[in-house]
Copies of this chain bind each other. A is one copy, B any other.
Amino acid sequence: MTTTSGLGREQPPKVTLSDVARAAGVSVATASKALNKRTHVKEATRLRVEAAAAALDFTPNFFARALNSSRTNTIGMVTSDLDNRFVLPILLGAEDAFGSGSLSVLLADARDDVLREQLHIETLMSRKVDGLLIVGRTTNPRPPASVFADVPVVYVYAPSTDDSHMSVTPDNVLAGRLAVRHLLDSGRRRIALVNGEASYAAAQDRAAGVTAELADHGLELVGGHSLFGQWGEAWGRDCGRLLATGDSGIDAVIGGSDHIARGVLDSLRDLGKRVPDDIAVIGFDNWDILVQESRPPLTSIDMNLQHLGRVAAQRLVDAIAGTVQPGRSYEPVHVVARQSA
């Protein structure tokens, strides 16, 4: 008994492999082989060992095992996700891909600081992680981290600037195309794009998708190009007001993010424009708290973050298993239609 009252169940007596071996009447070596389904062990004795292990509730000591430099069944995840938006969906996807229970994830936060990031990576490597997931904050390509050659790395969200590295990024060009397609499907033709900051790859890619899809239909953006600005509601409101009061005759606005789209929505409302009847509005990210209860609820392009995580984890697993599949992949996104468009 410990002195701490009622703080938990008793630690069961540690049962080691040699306990199992003794119980099964074999040597430790044989027990080891039996449990690891290794070299030919007589079926009967294997069963006996397994029974003994089960009876004693044997759990192999993780550290003793790792000491003999095998796999650790641990991956490291380094993030700089200041918005707190990507980590969990991606973690969930990763847990799914690995099959629950088998794998553990060491999480570290780099706080968007290269030095901290490298420090954490060193720590993780000293813990012999089997692989590394490096999760970025934007989709802007980022310089690769310095990692031992035998530790596979998958960059998630923000790809590595080195194309030969494994990177998994949402397909923002597709996102732009889908937004346009959705609007065209409901008969819109005069579309404006109120975009985020031009320094963001996401903004550029979405714009590229939008203009490309429009071009495929012989159209172009109202005003000829996307309006780069800030990622915020205020920018959305400002542009929304200008667009709706001008003589542009627009019938749809694409917001560069849900934030922006909400700003647009609010300004249109102020001006008495009906959404979607007069003007349709669509956003990117499908961030529930922004999208579900706006007036009207906002149609948005979902970035499929959990899928992203699953793919990233799967590629990592493959790489750990030796099947390297270098290069960037751009993962699909999809429209979530609500009432604004």
Contact = CB atoms under 8 A, between A and B. Distances in A.
A71 interface: no
A164 B7 contact: yes
A165 interface: yes
Contacts of A61: 67
A152 B7 CA distance: 8
Given A87-B84, A107-B107, A128-B63, A147 B289 contact: no
B149 A10 contact: yes
Contacts of A87: 84, 87-88
Nearest to A91: B109
Nearest to A230: B293
A41 interface: no
A232 interface: yes
Given A84-B84, A109-B95, A146 B293 contact: no
A305 B88 CA distance: 17
A295 interface: yes
Given A2-B149, A11-B149, A67-B63, A109 B88 contact: yes
B2 A150 contact: yes
A102 to B, nearest CB: 9
6 contacts: A7-B153, A10-B149, A59-B126, A62-B128, A84-B88, A95-B108
